[in-house]
Structure 1
Amino acid sequence: MTMILRAGQFKYVFPRPSLVMGVVNVTPDSFSDGGKYFDNASAVRHAMDLIEQGADIIDVGGESTRPKAEPVSEEEELRRVMPVIEALVPQINIPLSIDTLKPGVARAAVRAGASIINDVGANRTDGEMWRIVAETGVGYVAMHMQGSPATMQVKPTYQDVVEEVRIFLNGKIVDLQAVGISPEQIILDVGIGFGKTLEHNLQLLGSLRRFTTLQRPLLLGVSRKSFISKLLGVAAEDRLPGALACTLTAFEAGVQMFRTHDVAATVQALRMAEAITL
């Protein structure tokens, strides 16, 4: 099945080698690397290192979306991310993604050269974020989340998590087209760890092939997430093997894009899998 993804000036035709999205968190409190790249210079260096390791996209975020995270003001988020985006855009020839819930931050980032909006709040009812996507032609990641980062892990409940997430994402495709967004701009994310229990996450990971019927590229984010420790009893710093297992399972199921902190290992695993199967 051929699919086209358009993100600003960038175009990808699937099937093609998997796209790896490298994470740059400009935050003091993200669950994995909070504070590590909080100053602008460190964040820019880290992004360039990830590109050297094989990242196809750089995803910059200035607000933690870990469970129970406290929101930050738009002014503070802009202060964190804009210098990094403005420094990176002239240096790179790959898409830069802005990971934000705030339309104001998304608009500023796109004006500065970002090509993708990674929106964990695609369950929003206000349409301002979507108007920005329609007006600018950037790529848009619509992710499923039950609740908000502050509430999402407070007893998440589903009758059938796979079917409910699939219905949500299918509905997002309809909603986005209704406001003028081309299907070719849309990327879908089932939202592992966002309003899901361990069992919900495992059910989604085991059923990813069902989401390929939506005929849009799928982005998976499992990197360093706590469900790996809950299942395997490993420390936070030892989650990479579990994340790679999820990545390769998802690749086999038809997922095309992978968001990760560990770019080099993820690229190596995917390129080997592609050499074997494609």
Structure 2
Amino acid sequence: MAGTSDVALLGPADVRSLAAELGIRPTKKLGQNFVHDPNTVRRVAGLAELSGEDVVLEVGPGLGSLTLGLLDTGASVVAVEVDSGLAGCLARTVAGRAGRHSDRLTVLCADALRLEAADLERPPTTLVANLPYNVAVPVVLHLLAAFPSVRRALVMVQAEVADRMVAGPGSRVYGVPSVKLAWFGTAQRAGAVPRSVFWPVPNVDSALVRFDRGEPPASGDRETTFALVDAAFAQRRKMLRAALAPWFGSAARAAESLVSAGIDPATRGERLTVADFARLAAQVRAADCDVSQ
């Protein structure tokens, strides 16, 4: 992009000027920390490995910093913004700074957590987002489930959230986000993001997480597997035979099902892979257990 680009990326002064023009004050409630560093935008767009064949689902475009960088790759972008004020000005910003690319931008004023395949004209291939820490995991999991066409993702999240998303079994931070994301594929850290590239400057560190879709576990089903994951980590210090006793009617019956799934009843949820949970989900279904615990 550098050198031959006709896209004018937003710098710190541009971001503040746009926000002032629109009367926008970043809010903690919406987790609004706008990226204002062109080099970071180029870095993210490059790591997303986009081409003209891609349709990018961008969540939380804000003032358009990253949107401009994504359009500069030749990809089409569907920008989903929950703030109506920001959504309303995005197309104008793109027209002024990346005019000939604006026909590849679609703006939706919507909540990403409610977005479904029918809301988009074309199935997205890639998810790219700068996500507030409090909704990052729910948004990513929802969109991966709602859009099977998304084969990869690159998201900016709080560093601690990134650690949870990429953690493996046995890790101190391995938990619900780690297991559920693993159902859809593999996640890995793609680098740190300094606080200084955001306005306002957040009081937490950020990181990039790269995701590549894979095949889900062969056994079990997602609804039951995810419910089991929630139950196991709700009482993560308990042995699984105790944590899952309500599902099976007793700790003894839970232990029997765990053994049948090839899992030590005395282990804890933090030691299980997503495939382990899926095998256990198959046992739950076979035993006709109540999954609404």
Provide the TM-score with structure 1 as the length reference: 0.31
For the pair shown, the structure with the greater C-alpha radius of gyration is: 2
Bigger relative contact order, structure 1 or 2 (CA pairs below 8 A, ≥6 apart):
1
